[in-house]
Chains A and B, each alone.
Chain A
Amino acid sequence: MLFSPGWRAASGQGSILAFFTAGLLLGGALSGLAVWLLSGLSEPIPQGGRAAAVAAVAATGVLREFGVLRLSLPQNARQIPLEVLQRRPRLGPMQFGFELGTGVRTYVTSSAPYMAALALLLSHPALAAATAAGLGFGLGRALTAATVLWSRDPEWNARAAARMPLLTRLAVTALAAALLTAAVG
């Protein structure tokens, strides 16, 4: 748990969020850069072929998320140890955020990160775009923590868990729509 149980009245939760977010952004940027470097391998594929592959990735992700297609994807099936978070008051949340931000240090429960990473690999966009995708990933993860903090609702996690299937399906559908729109355009 990122925020202490006394978050409703305690000070300093904003700084935990700031360090956690900084770590997420660093981790996301690093992963974006790594995927961009690998994406150079797809450059010899003709533009039309790459656009078709991105469209296939988008469709596969949606079908998987809606349960039409059963497809297990690789993931690091472990929790980031809580000691990472608790060891140091500022660097702990930052390191925890960094590990989460890389997207490869813990469970990946949605098709969306795979769709984004594969689309990035196949598209080989400019470095700025790949970095933006990585930073966006970190920001997206930070949005969860920020919303928890702003909500002042101890039941927020339970509310999110109840809506998780709808939430991930919305995210995956919108992500596919964005990828298809960009591929067609």
Chain B
Amino acid sequence: MPVTSATAGAVRRAITDPLVPVVLVAMAAVAAAARDSMVLGWATVGALAGYSLSGSV
């Protein structure tokens, strides 16, 4: 089923776009800060810092 395979490939490519994780973690960080969730807030701040160093792996 080449069409299905191509569609699956396109979906995979879209959901693993390099910007997707940063957008999701950014939303979580702001939401955690707004809810005064200390541990989750700092965890997401750390995750943003770590992901911002995305280089060649």
Contacts and interface: CB of A to CB of B under 8 A. Distances in A.
Interface residues on chain B, size class:
35 or more
Nearest to B45: A116
A145 interface: yes
A143 B50 contact: yes
B contact face: mostly helix, strand, loop, or mixed: helix
A175 B51 CA distance: 11
Given A145-B57, A170-B26, A136 B44 contact: yes
A138 B22 CA distance: 14
Given A129-B39, A147-B16, A157-B57, A174 B46 contact: no
Contacts of B26: 170-171, 173-174
A1 B55 CA distance: 10
Contact of B51 (A140, A152, A182): A140
A134 to B, nearest CB: 6
B52 A167 contact: yes
Interface string A78-118: 00000000000000000000000001000011101101110
A139 B53 contact: no
A182 B43 CA distance: 13
Contacts of A170: 19, 22-23, 26
Interface residues of A, number: 64
B50 A167 contact: no
Contacts of B27: 174
B39 to A, nearest CB: 5
Given A134-B46, A174-B29, A177-B33, A150 B16 contact: yes
> A-B pairs with the 6 shortest C-beta distances?
A140-B50, A136-B46, A174-B26, A151-B16, A140-B47, A136-B43
Interface of B: 12-13, 16-23, 25-27, 29-30, 32-34, 36, 38-57
Interface of A: 1-3, 24, 28, 32, 103, 108-110, 112-113, 115-117, 119-120, 125-126, 128-130, 132-145, 147-148, 150-153, 156-157, 159-161, 163-164, 166-168, 170-175, 177-179, 181-182, 185
